Each structure stands twice: as structure tokens, then as C-alpha cells.
Chains A and B, each alone.
Chain A
Amino acid sequence: MFGGIDPALLIAALMVNSVPIMLAATGELVVEKAGVLNLGVEGMMIMGAICGFVTAVVTGNPYLGFVGGALGAMALSAVFGVLTQVLQTNQVATGLALTLFGLGLSSLIGQSYVGIKPPATGDVALGPLADIPFLGVAVFSHDWMVYASIALVAGVWWALKYSRMGLVLRAVGESHEAAHALGYKVTRIRFIAVLFGGALAGLGGAYISLVRVPQWTDGITAGAGWIALAIVVFASWKPWRVLAGAYLFGGISVLQLNLQAAGSAIPVEYLSMAPYLITILVLVIMSSGRGKAALAAPACLGQNFHASR
């Protein structure tokens, strides 16, 4: 099998590896469903990574670390919200600014935290489940964020599909004029969606620096935010497909890391560019099918709304 790689461990690593992308992509999905295109996911993730790391190291509590990460990224997303929703700035440009600023600020905050080990986030005790052969190692011996992220996908799916809140959110994203005419507060709803997206991106970032790596280095997210954006397109704005997409990319990055470790004949650089190339490939496939991906996009995606009346 795969040159001596244990499949159970591979699945276990895949589940851990896909958490950051899954969280960030789920958050971005909600933001885009509300009609806002926030390209600053990478910046918010890395802010979450450093804020979470600092909080966890200072308090010694990894759970508070996740809270800190979510809050840090939320603060950054609030800047995006004010700029795009109140000050009517271009969403693409503002998202880019968010990424550039987040990368700089995170490395500024993180200077004195390089080389420190964060407090460990323990695995959830699932008792007898963890003793099941194969599945126990692969699925039932993870930290709580692995399960929480899956629960979040389910929650977002339910909320978007069945709750009134989700209906309003989708209305705002499909036609902000109509939603406004019906009396919904377009700006306020979008702002809250942006904050939610920021919090999830922050959780994803904190997971990278607290669990997956776990330490702080500059640029630790290494494009995960951009892959998350691509996964939203890949998923055609459907929550369960975000889960599938995240596992697909988690799987690819785990596989390439394992191949690197196993001393495969393929040069390391080819392996480490694989996740990005495959992301591009998947984007192409999704967008080529008679423009299906474009049709699934919320109609008001990326358009600013200014109530003239």
C-alpha cells in the first residue's frame, strides 16, 4: 500500500489536515451566500493563527486559544465589513488589502513567539469507539475541532436550507434590491455574515498553529486561505460539497507529505506544488461544465449595495 504508508494513519492525518480549509471555506460560503466576496481569507486565517497561538501560549489554555483566534480574525473581518458595506469600497481590492495587511500584522505580532510550543489540544475521549480496529485510529481518535468542524458544516447546511435566517441571507445574496424592498437590513445582514466568515477563518487559522503544525512561523497558512476560496467555487456554494472538497485537498496534501517523508522518487518541489496545481485543475473542471459553477453563484456576489431610498 502506498509505499509502506498505513492507510488508517493516512485517513487520520487527512481528517486533521482538512480541518483548517473546511472551517475557512464554510465561513466564506456563508459570506458569499450573502452576496459578499471576501478575498481576504488568507489574511484572516493567518491573523487567527497568530492570535490563537498568542492567546494559547499566554493563558496556557488551548481552548481559549481558539476563542482568541476567532476574535482576532473577526476583528480583521470587521475592517473589511466597514470598508465594503459602509464605505462602499471595491470588494476584490479590499479583500487583497486584508490579506496583505494580515500577513504583515501577523508576522509583527508573532516575532517573539517563533520557536515556542503551544499547549497541546487533547484528543476527545470517545471510550470504546476508539478501540474499534482501523476506524478507531482513523476516525475516532481526534481532537474536538475535527468533530466540531463537521458539525459546523451540518449546522450551516441546515441553517441555509431550513431556517428563516438562512432564507433571508440567501435573499440578500441573490437580490439585494428585492431584499431591501422587503424591509430586510441588507447592510447589517451582510456585515454579520462577514463577521461569521471571519470567525471561522480564524478558527481554521488557529487550528493550523495550535494543532496541525503546531508552532508559529511567518506565512504559516501558505495559501490555505486561497485554497479555501477555490473550494467554495468547487462546492458550487453547497455546504456538504465543501466537506468533500476539504477532504479531497486534505487527502492530497497528506499524501504528498507522506510521499516526501517516505523518500519518493518524485522531487519534493513537484509534490509540494501538487495541491495548488490540483486546485487549479478542479477549478477548471468545475467552471467548464457549461458554466454550471457560474450559475450556482449568488446573483449579487461581489456587488455593493447602497440604499438610495
Chain B
Amino acid sequence: MLRLEKRPSPSVFWERASPFLAVALTMVAGGIMFWILGKNPFEAIRTIFWDPLFNDQFAAYSRPQLLVKAAPLILIAIGLSLGFRAGIWNIGAEGQYIMGAIFGAAAGLAVYPVESRLIFPVMILAGAFGGFLWAMIPALLKTVFRTNEILVSLLLVYVAQNILAMMALGALRNPEGGGFPGSRNLSQIPSMANPELIAGTGMHWGVVAAFMAVIAGYILLQRHILGFQIKLAGQAPRAARFAGVSPARLVVLCLGISGVLAGLAGVFEVTGPAGQISIDFNVGYGFTAIIVAFLGRLNPVGILFAGLLMALTYIGGELAQLMLGLPSAAIQAFQGMLLFFLLATDLLTNFRVRLAKREGA
């Protein structure tokens, strides 16, 4: 019989190694899933993880996409990881992302067709504010009424989606769009566009912001008192309270920061890669970012790499859809599986697995 023995302190080795083991296990399980779907598993895995980066034919297109897709994931995941560390579960980043995009786009379109270099920065601020505002709803309900932030933040995603539809069909609809839903294409309006900064790299302002968030997150957690308080509140809530850490303040800060970052991700997306407010603007980055946060071990540098890997599965998934006819839902299931394996391999960090003889009863 296998027996679990609690480690006195978490294993440093397994804390680093378990994400790699989880990715490997997911590839095996995913391969089996692709095989059941009637695809060659080795070919599918190669198409998803290798071809986007190194295939002569596709790499030129897909390499820049890597940064484009990773940026929102990293931005959102950095914010979420702070809360997750403190035991504050914001799972409504998707809604904050949508609201960021709406606020940002609305700020820009309100002054259309004025051309000014100030418009883009104002839109970014408005986007951050939109995400912040949406995250403050669960934060204030939690601090004032002790309402569960998990349920409130999640339910607000559905509300945000309805507001998005309302905007795409109503207030923000392109008046010259022939009645089709969707706003003006912001990426084609010079003063509102978030262009590729260096041709052929996919680098846009959102990517810059994502890298800055990684650095800021690292400093916050390693060097700043707030980072210490977040970690303390997560690992020993009672000790944190005795140390004078106000739980309400942490809730507001963690949700606020993650709301701002999700809002930023939204506004960078709507002004750049997506281009416009449309009914299907959101594609689930806010939810995938939860996986990214865990895959990166709630650590900013880890999240950077996790975001890139998850972006790779998106791009590789599209490629596999094109080349092998692999359904896009397979990638979603694949990503979900990754989170399962991540959580499961965490066992090795906190427990020792021992082969034990059955004790005589």
C-alpha cells in the first residue's frame, strides 16, 4: 500500500519540478485523448508544441502570435496570483477584462474623430478603471457584507457579457457599419490604435505592460511589506491578524490590483489584436489565466513562462485545427486537464509518498 506522510516543510525540489511533471503527464493524457479522437497523438502533440515555433512554414506567422496571446494571460494571471496567495478568490477576471475593454473603447470613441496623442493613454487609464470598478463590486460586498467573493465575481461575468452585447448592439455600435453589431475598428484609428511596436515580433503595448507587471509583481512579493502580508494571510490567517494585517484591506487591494490588470488586458486587446468591441470579444482569457497562475506556481516569473506555454497551446491548437482537423474544444479540455495534473502533482510538494506495509490491525 502507498501511504502519504506529511512533510514538515514543503519540498523545494518538487515545488519547482511539479509543473514540468504536470505538463509531461498532460501531454501523455492529451495524447490519449487525441488518439481516441482518431488523430495520431505524436503528430498532434508536435503540431501543438513544436510546429508553431520551429516549422519553416508556420513559424513566421505564429511566433509573433505567442506574445500577442501571452500578454493578456500574463497580465491577468499576475493579478489573480496575488489574491490566490492570500486566499482571496477572484475568478471573475473575464468580466473585469470585458469591462476594461468597454470603458477603454468608450473613452476613445466618445471624442471620435478628434486626433490627439493623449487619447490612447486616456483610454488605457479608462480601461484600468473599468476593470478596477468591476472588481470593487465583489471586494466591497465581501468587506461590508461578508458576501462570498467567488460567487459574486463569477456571476458578474455573465452580467458583463450582457453589457458587452448591449454595447456592441447599441451605444458603441459603429454608426457607419451598415447596422452590423460591433464598434468602429479602433486598431485602424491612429490615435486609438495599439500597434505592433517592432514589426514581426507581436510586441505591442500590452506585452510591455505584461513584462512590467511581472517585474512589479516580483518586487511586490519579494521586497515589499504588502507582498509579505499577502503571503502571511494565505499561509497563517490568524498570525496575520495578530500581526496587524487588516483582512478587509487585503481583499480590496488584491481584488483591486487584479481588476486593474484584467482591465488593462482588456483595453490593450480591444485597441490592438481584437480591434473592436463585438459580441464575441471575450475568448476566455480570464478563465485560462487561472490555469496560468497555478501553472506558474503563483510566482511572477513562473507566470511569465506559464503564460507563454499556455499561449503556445492556443496557437498550436489553432494550427492543429487547421492541419489535423482537431476540434478547438479539444484544446480547452487539454488546458483543463493541465490544471488537474498540476494540482495533483502538488501532492509531492507537501507529502512524501511511502511504500508502507499494512500494519497488523
Contact = CB atoms under 8 A, between A and B. Distances in A.
B156 A87 contact: no
Given A276-B159, A280-B156, A88 B4 contact: yes
Given A89-B347, A100-B287, A284-B141, A267 B147 contact: no
Nearest to A39: B150
Interface string B152-170: 1011101100110110001
Interface string B329-344: 1111111110110011
A272 B144 CA distance: 27
A283 B152 contact: yes
B148 interface: yes
Interface in A74-101: 79, 83, 87-90, 92-94, 96-97, 100-101
Contacts of B154: 223, 226
B91 interface: yes
B308 interface: no
Contacts of B175: none
Interface in B300-350: 327, 329-337, 339-340, 343-344, 346-347, 350
Interface stretch (A15-23, A55-63, A104-112, A124-132): A104-112
B294 interface: yes
A89 B159 contact: no
Interface size class of B (residues with CB under 8 A): 35 or more
Nearest to A80: B340
A83 B343 contact: yes
Given A269-B162, A269-B163, A276-B158, A104 B333 contact: yes
Contacts of A272: 162
Given A88-B351, A280-B156, A284-B145, A97 B166 contact: no
A196 B45 CA distance: 36
A102 B165 CA distance: 25
Given A83-B343, A97-B343, A283-B148, A92 B89 contact: yes
Contacts of A222: 158
Chain A, interface SS category: helix
B336 A105 contact: yes
A108 B330 contact: yes
A233 B339 contact: no
Contacts, number: 132
Contacts of A269: 162-163, 165-166
Interface residues of A, number: 46
Contacts of A105: 329, 333, 336
A258 interface: no
B265 interface: no
B224 interface: no
19 contacts: A79-B340, A87-B347, A93-B343, A97-B339, A97-B340, A97-B343, A105-B329, A108-B327, A218-B329, A223-B154, A226-B151, A233-B151, A267-B170, A269-B162, A270-B162, A276-B159, A280-B151, A283-B148, A283-B151
Interface of A: 39, 79, 83, 87-90, 92-94, 96-97, 100-105, 107-108, 111, 218, 222-223, 226-227, 229-230, 233, 267, 269-270, 272-273, 276-277, 279-280, 283-284, 287-288, 291, 294, 306, 308
Interface of B: 4, 6, 37, 84, 89, 91, 141, 144-148, 150-152, 154-156, 158-159, 162-163, 165-166, 170, 287-288, 290-291, 294, 327, 329-337, 339-340, 343-344, 346-347, 350-351
Given A100-B339, A269-B166, 19 more contacts: A83-B340, A87-B343, A87-B344, A88-B347, A88-B350, A90-B343, A101-B337, A104-B335, A107-B327, A107-B332, A218-B329, A227-B155, A233-B151, A267-B166, A276-B159, A277-B159, A279-B155, A288-B147, A291-B146
